[in-house]
Each structure stands twice: as structure tokens, then as C-alpha cells.
Structure 1
């Protein structure tokens, strides 16, 4: 197989552990990176991706953050779409009586109202630290500073609160937001007009098409990308729906499935 761009999700896909890429994966990326553009594509914020990019030796390439809402190339902002702050405020009003916290992400900022087991996990696994501030105070401060909006909202509650909140959001914001159930307790929210696929399309060079892209993923927010690029590969630990639409299912992320596929199928 020969492709001009390789795009990979991080968590549950490229990362062999919750926070690190393996030496095996690093060696396989090193083998191909002079011939194939290697672009990391994630729901993460920029600072939670830079260390992976550095470990892989692909700092010269762009990164796609927040499921496609922010695309950066070094210090240069190539693309940015945000959720308006008034919508963030409306979401807060839905979540507050249901004891669900909001993580607000804008550019390279991450604000949470307080620490929790979930927040501590993210600190550990993404090697980033949030600002602790009441959600309404964050929204008001960003309004005063003329911030255009937020790139991602993470709702952190319980399975029961997520089950209750998800249909409320779908009924009210279906035209404005993309809603992803990350797991039983987490809901990720992104602007409606963006996805990992739309961001990849913006990075195609003049001589490149989607058919020239190979992509790797595991979760619902990877499906659009895997279905529409030239070749979509799911890891075997991925969602069943994702594996069904993929062209190929490789080994689990913990077994270096992406690196295995690269070694056996991508020839330079």
C-alpha cells in the first residue's frame, strides 16, 4: 500500500497505554515519515498532543485537535470553529441540576469547576493541567475577553445523568452540535460543522485527494474519517460499529495494532 497521508486517532488507537506511544510504533513511524505525512487526529487539546508528536518525530506536521474544531501547524492556526458561549451557558443550565460538571476547552485552555476522579485521570493520561474555576465564572470571563467560543465541551457525570442529558441535548441542539458518547459517563460536544474528516480535507495538498489518505481509529468520532478516506483501519478493541465500516481490523492498541499494520502493509 502507498498513501500520501497517514492520520491516526490517539486514545485507544495509536497509544499503547493511556498516555504513551510504544517504541515499536515510534520505529514504524520513523520508517515511513519521510514519504508519508503523519498527522495526529484527536479529541484532545493541543498540549495533550504535542508530546506524542514529539516522541514520533513529526513536529513538522499539522495536528488536528478537538475532533477537527482546531487545526494547528506549529504556532500557526490553520482552522478554528467554536461553540458560541451562549450555547455553552445553556448546556450548563441543563447540567447543573443533574450534578454534571463541564470541562471547557478553548484553544490551549482547559477549565473545570473542581477536581474529580475523571479530571485526575485526564491530568495523568494527557500530561496537561486544568484551571480550576466555576463554570459560570469561566464563561463570563471569556465573554468579557471577547473569546469567540469554546472548541470542545466535556460533560462529566454518571451513566444515569449521561443517559438523561444526552436526549435533552439531541432534541435542543441537533442543528448546532455534534454529540459523542465517549463512554457511559462522558459526553463530548463539538461544533456541528466539524469532524475529523472535515479537518483532514483542509490539510490535503493540491496534488492530494481523500483516496490518498489512510486513517486509524476506534470510536464513534472516527467513523466519518474511516468511511471516507482511501483506506480506514480500526483497532480490534474499537466499537463494533467502527469495525463494521472499516476496510480492515488490526490488532488492539495495547498490542500495537497501528504499528503492526504499518509494518506489514505500508511499503516504502
Structure 2
């Protein structure tokens, strides 16, 4: 099959380290980018993706941010879907009760109330600095502007995250996608969008999903891998992801995406 579009997740997939693509990945992407459109698809904010686009020589291509909640092309907004301030207020009250810290993301804005080990990790891995601001103040400002969040990160302990996850499933699961990133982190995104829906939005000319090859490692990659022409899981992917993939390549730390491109594209 002649794949005209390659879509790849970043963290745990295309990125060999926590923040960068390897030289071999850059080389393989540059080898095929004139005949294959390369679209980066991530839960990250735009600013945390552009430096990777630059390294790969694909700044002219669109990016799918926040798991599909924001799509940009040439820095122009193709699509934007937000978590409303009403929903955010419910989340904030729950977080306060459980002493969970929130990270709010809108376009290239990232708000947190205080510094922490988790915030420092995010800064290091994404090369983006947050704005330290009272979350209640942010929500009031957003309400006046009629904007919301493209993504929410809840940062707690295992116990508080367990409780919050259960409560969120009961109250907001019909409206939001609720991902458990790890024992202490929960990510929230609008339910009406996904990586797959964003890819569909970017299809042009005679291209269909059959023309797309995709790479991923985590739960939020499943639809993308399952319904594109060829879905490839990296070796470190969750078992559920590997089960639905058409193929499995090496781990991200072993340049799995570059290895598969070199062998098949």
C-alpha cells in the first residue's frame, strides 16, 4: 500500500528520549517527507510540538494537539474544542476537596498554581514554561472571554487520583475523555474529539484513512491505530494497543518508528 500520510504520537512513540527525536528518526523522516505528509499527533500543546516539527523539517505541516482538541496549520486554527468553564468548575471543586493540583491548557497557555516535581518534569520534557496563577482567577477570566481548556491535568497522590478518577467517571464521563496517565496523573479532554477525528478533519483531495499509516503506544492512540490503513504499535506500547495494531515495531528507545519506516516506506 502506498501511504501518503504518516501520523505519529510523540511521547513514548516518536521521541527516543523524553523530549527529543533521534538523528536516525530525523534522517528517516526527512527521507520520506517529500512524498509522505508527516503529521504529529499528541496530547501536547502546540509550543511543545513545534520544536520537534522544526527538527524534522516539517514546520509547514499541520499539527494535532491535545489529542485532537486543537488542530493548527501554518499557525492558523483549523479546529478547536474546549472543556467549558462550567465543567472546569466541577473539576476544580473536586480537585480542591482532594488536595489535587490542576494544570490548565488552552492553545499555548499552561497554568498551574505552584511549582512541583511534576511541573518541573513537564517543563523539562516539553521545553515549555508554565504561568503560575491562581486557578480560580484563571477560570473567572476564561468565563468572561468565553473560552475554556483544551486539556486538564490533575496531579495528586495515588489515593487521591483513585478517588478523583472514580468521581469523574460518574459525573463527567459522558462529556469528557478521562485518561489515567499513571498512578498519580489524570488527563481530561473533550469527548467529541480524538486523534482519529482530527486526522479525518485533515484529509484532503482523494485521501482516505486507508492512505494513512499511524504509530502509537497508549490508550489514546487505539482508535487512530485501529482505523487507519496501517496502525503500528511501538514495542513499549500497552498490550491493549499491540493487540489492535496491524504491526509492532521496536521500542521508542530503540528508534522503533524510524526502524519501521526504513523497512517498509
TM-score by length of 2: 0.98
**What whole-Å deviation, never above 9, does each CA across 1:126-153 have from its counterpart, x for those lacking one?**
0000000111111112222x14211000
- Consecutive unaligned residues of structure 2, counting only runs of 5 or more, are none
Counterpart of 2:205? 206
SS of 2:20's equivalent?
A: coil
Q: Quick check: 1:141 aligned with 2:153?
A: no
Q: Quick check: 1:195 aligned with 2:207?
A: no
SS of 1:221's equivalent?
A: helix
**What whole-Å deviation, never above 9, does each CA across 1:201-258 have from its counterpart, x for those lacking one?**
0000121000100000000110011011000000111111111111111000000000
1:1-268 matched pairs, under 5 angstroms: 1-144=1-144, 146-266=145-265
Number of aligned residue pairs: 265
How many Å separate the matches in 1 of 2:227 and 2:75? 29
How many Å separate the matches in 2 of 1:27 and 1:75? 25
How many Å separate the matches in 1 of 2:96 and 2:30? 47
The worse-fitting range, judged by mean Cα deviation, of 111-120 and 159-168 is 159-168
Alpha-carbon deviation of 1:55?
0.1
SS of 1:103's equivalent?
A: strand
How many Å separate the matches in 1 of 2:80 and 2:215? 23
Alpha-carbon deviation of 1:97?
1.5
SS of 2:105's equivalent?
A: strand
**RMSD after superposition:** 0.8
How many Å separate the matches in 2 of 1:205 and 1:49? 22
Alpha-carbon deviation of 1:108?
0.8
Runs of 4+ in 1 over 3 A off after TM superposition: none
**What whole-Å deviation, never above 9, does each CA across 1:131-187 have from its counterpart, x for those lacking one?**
00111111112222x142110001111111111111110110121101111111111
How many Å separate the matches in 2 of 1:136 and 1:11? 30
TM-score by length of 1: 0.97
SS of 1:188's equivalent?
A: strand
How many Å separate the matches in 2 of 1:219 and 1:92? 26
- Consecutive unaligned residues of structure 1, counting only runs of 5 or more, are none
